[in-house]
């Protein structure tokens, strides 16, 4: 089945069965709000790697919530007009005499505001490599695909059901489904191991040199092996 906002909402309605088989007792507003609350709760587990861009005016400072409409956690890299520029620390930025003169050469982030150091020209492309929160779903865009992976859908559905049952004052059911969500979230946390982490884990070796000891005849004597076939090879 193709996965999008519409199918996730249908799954929740089928699970709820509030009034009949389709869960018609809850409005789309409540269900969508519950899904977005679940995405907020899971945002510390599933950060999204993304490439965002916008075109400049002649201003040096831009509110990122306005120009890209995303909640950015970490800004990793910035390019201006096709050229990668470096970041600058707050003390260095504040000590600049004329930060708006010269070619655009650095960037500075304070809160949601990105400041470009230099003479900014209009209609230049700024690209940003970022880590951001999963975007909220839009009920008016049913074909939108959630930013979270497919295996997180069960946790989102359990959280949404808990919110819906709490709205209808069925607290026992709400607490039951919230408990399921917490267990599913723990499983998701264990599953979300960074890619390539295993390449840097310590490796045990079966062949190694032990400690040398002084020889009575002079020099050093290697240790005696107690295992004549440490590698286990035939």
| pLDDT tens per residue across span 39-89 | 999 988 888 889 999 999 999 999 998 899 888 888 999 999 999 999 999
Q: Is residue 158 part of a domain?
A: yes
Q: Do 125 and 145 fall within a single domain?
A: no
What is the domain range of residue 126? 48-132
Quick: pLDDT tens for 142-161: 888 888 888 999 999 999 99
Q: Is residue 225 part of a domain?
A: no
Q: Is residue 215 part of a domain?
A: no
Lowest mean pLDDT among 68-72, 129-133, 173-177, 191-195: 191-195
Q: Is residue 18 part of a domain?
A: yes
Q: Do 28 and 87 fall within a single domain?
A: no
Q: Which two tokens stand for residue 49?
A: 């790697």
Q: Do 55 and 128 fall within a single domain?
A: yes
Q: Do 74 and 89 fall within a single domain?
A: yes
Mode of pairing for the β-strands spanning 125-132 and 48-55 = antiparallel
Band of pLDDT at residue 1, cut at 50, 70 and 90: low
Q: Do 39 and 71 fall within a single domain?
A: no
Q: Do 103 and 67 fall within a single domain?
A: yes
User: Helices H, strands E: what count in the chain?
Assistant: 6, 9
Q: Is residue 227 part of a domain?
A: no
Q: Do 56 and 157 fall within a single domain?
A: no
Domain count, the chain: 2
Q: Do 143 and 33 fall within a single domain?
A: yes
Where a domain ends, among 91, 108, 132? 132
Q: Do 33 and 90 fall within a single domain?
A: no
Band of pLDDT at residue 197, cut at 50, 70 and 90: very low
Q: Do 60 and 41 fall within a single domain?
A: no
Q: Measured between alpha carbons, how far is 105 from 99 in angstroms, rounded to an integer? A: 10
Q: Measured between alpha carbons, how far is 24 from 16 in angstroms, rounded to an integer? A: 9
Q: Is residue 142 part of a domain?
A: yes
Alpha helices for the chain (secondary structure H): 5-16, 28-41, 64-67, 90-94, 153-167, 171-191
Q: Is residue 213 part of a domain?
A: no
Q: Is residue 52 part of a domain?
A: yes
């Amino acid at each position: 089945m193709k996965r999008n906002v519409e199918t996730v909402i249908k799954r929740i309605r089928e699970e709820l069965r509030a009034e009949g088989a389709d869960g018609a007792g809850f409005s789309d507003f409540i269900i969508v709000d519950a899904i977005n609350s679940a995405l907020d709760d899971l945002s510390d587990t599933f950060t999204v790697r993304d490439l965002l861009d916008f075109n400049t005016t002649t201003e040096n400072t831009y509110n990122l919530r306005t120009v890209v409409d995303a909640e950015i956690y970490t800004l990793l890299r910035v390019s201006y007009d096709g050229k990668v520029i470096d970041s600058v620390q707050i003390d260095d930025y504040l000590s600049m005499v004329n930060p708006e003169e010269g070619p655009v050469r650095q960037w500075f982030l304070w809160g949601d505001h990105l400041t470009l150091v230099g003479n900014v020209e209009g209609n230049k492309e700024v690209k940003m490599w970022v880590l951001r929160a999963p975007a909220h779903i839009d009920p008016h865009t049913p074909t939108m695909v959630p930013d979270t992976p497919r295996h997180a859908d069960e946790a989102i559905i359990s959280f949404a059901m808990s919110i819906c049952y709490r709205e209808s004052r069925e607290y026992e059911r709400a607490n039951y489904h919230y408990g399921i969500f917490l267990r599913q979230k723990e499983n998701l946390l264990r599953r979300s191991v960074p890619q390539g982490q295993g390449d840097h884990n310590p490796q045990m070796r079966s062949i190694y040199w032990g400690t040398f000891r002084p020889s009575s005849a002079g020099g050093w004597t290697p240790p005696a092996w107690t295992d004549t076939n440490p590698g286990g090879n035939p």
